[in-house]
Amino acid sequence: MSLINQMLRDLEQRNTANATSAPKLELRPAPHTQHQRRWYWLIAFALTLPVHYVWRQTHSTQTEQPAVAAPAMAPPAAPAQISAPTVPEPPKVTLPEASPANTGGTEPAAIKTEQIIQSSKAVEPEVPQPPANAAPIPPIVAPAVKPVKTQTPAEQADALYRRAKTGKSAPMIDALLRDALQLNPSHLGARTLLLQTLLKAHANPEEIADFVQESLQLFPDNLLFVKTQAHLYVQQKNFAAATNTLEQINPDSVDDTTYLSLLAAGYQQQQRFPPAERIYQRLTQQQPEKAEHWLGLAICQDKLNQTQAAAQAYQQALDKNTLHADVVNYIKQRLSALN
């Protein structure tokens, strides 16, 4: 064992001496071997470059998709107008950052730019062009609105008057005519018809008198209003007022027998026999069958001492057989006195 140990120590010392005395050797690869290794790395990088580019394209497309905006509420529809269709702007495309692997060449960037141009062209809509010989589109014109004609108060009153003329109910006719006169107080037809309605309905004499007085202020020469007021004065035994009212119209221009009878009776009551006698002469010519006209003429002629003419007029009145018994007795007495 000691011998073996001695041999191992000698061997170890020998190796140590050789290591310290021998020069250090540096292993370096040969120059041609170093260039070959660089070409290997370039070939490997070139082979992995398409895979890396495809991965970058997929990753950038997924991460850079534009957010979809929520649809906005449509504004209220504007009036119909013809306008050219608007072309929407192409979506903004963000170019992906170039990877360090692409810095050495320009081919991937050229491919990316061409794809962006093609995508923007695909987004632009095609605007249809009208044919060259197409007729121009006429503008849209809104139909004209016919203005509503507003009736004047006079027209409204006339419409109410026409309705009253065809009415069947007296209260309805009265209400329509009063409404018409509220709108147009100078409506002669409405005033005339309302007065006739009041007289037919035997309305209050004071109401009739007030209405007639108001009507005469607007139409002083109206024959109906004049006769009505004169008749009201005769009923009140106010013959002077009746005569003054009737004389507002020239008697020579009037042939109305009611008007002439009222005027002749007014003259006779006022002892104005000459004008009364002239009017009774006209009445006996217009209505010879009326005994009242002959009696009035006989009284006027009797007062004027026209004896023979008065006797003839008394006899004409007696022959009609339409007078009251008291009047007949008076005529007989006057005939006895004149003969």
Give residue-wise pLDDT tens across range 121-157: 555 555 556 566 666 666 676 666 666 668 899 999 9
223-235 vs 188-200: helix axis angle to the nearest 10?
Answer: 30
pLDDT at residue 97 in the model: 47
Where residue 176 falls among pLDDT bands split at 50, 70, 90? very high
Contact 264, 243 (CB under 8 A): no
Mean pLDDT, rounded, for 214-227: 95
The alpha-helical segments, DSSP class H, found in the chain are 2-21, 31-63, 107-123, 153-165, 170-183, 188-200, 205-218, 223-235, 239-246, 257-269, 273-286, 291-303, 307-319, 325-338
Four-residue CA torsion sign, 240, 246, 248, 251: negative
Predicted structure pTM score: 0.55
Coil, helix or strand for 163?
helix
Is pLDDT above 80 for 276? yes
Residue scoring higher pLDDT (44 or 261): 261
Any residues with CB less than 8 A from the CB of 273 and at least 6 apart, and which? 267, 300, 303, 304
Which stretch of 38-42, 60-64, 206-210 has the lowest confidence by average pLDDT?
60-64
What does DSSP assign to residue 22? S
* Cα–Cα distance for residue pair 147/50, rounded to 1 Å: 79
The backbone torsions φ and ψ at residue 142, rounded to the nearest 5 degrees and listed phi first, read -70, 140
DSSP string, 167-187: ---HHHHHHHHHHHHHH-TT-
**For the chain, first and last CA: distance in Å?**
220
pLDDT at residue 141 in the model: 65
Coil, helix or strand for 203?
coil
Is pLDDT above 70 for 117? no
Of 255, 279, 254, the closest CA to residue 266 belongs to: 279
Amino acid at residue number 27? L
Instruction: Give the total residue count for the chain.
Output: 339
Any residues with CB less than 8 A from the CB of 219 and at least 6 apart, and which? 188, 191, 225
* Cα–Cα distance for residue pair 96/55, rounded to 1 Å: 12
- Look-up: residue for tokens 């000459």? 274
Residue scoring higher pLDDT (275 or 150): 275
Contact 151, 159 (CB under 8 A): yes
Alpha carbon 16 to its chain centroid, in Å, reads 124
Is pLDDT above 90 for 77? no
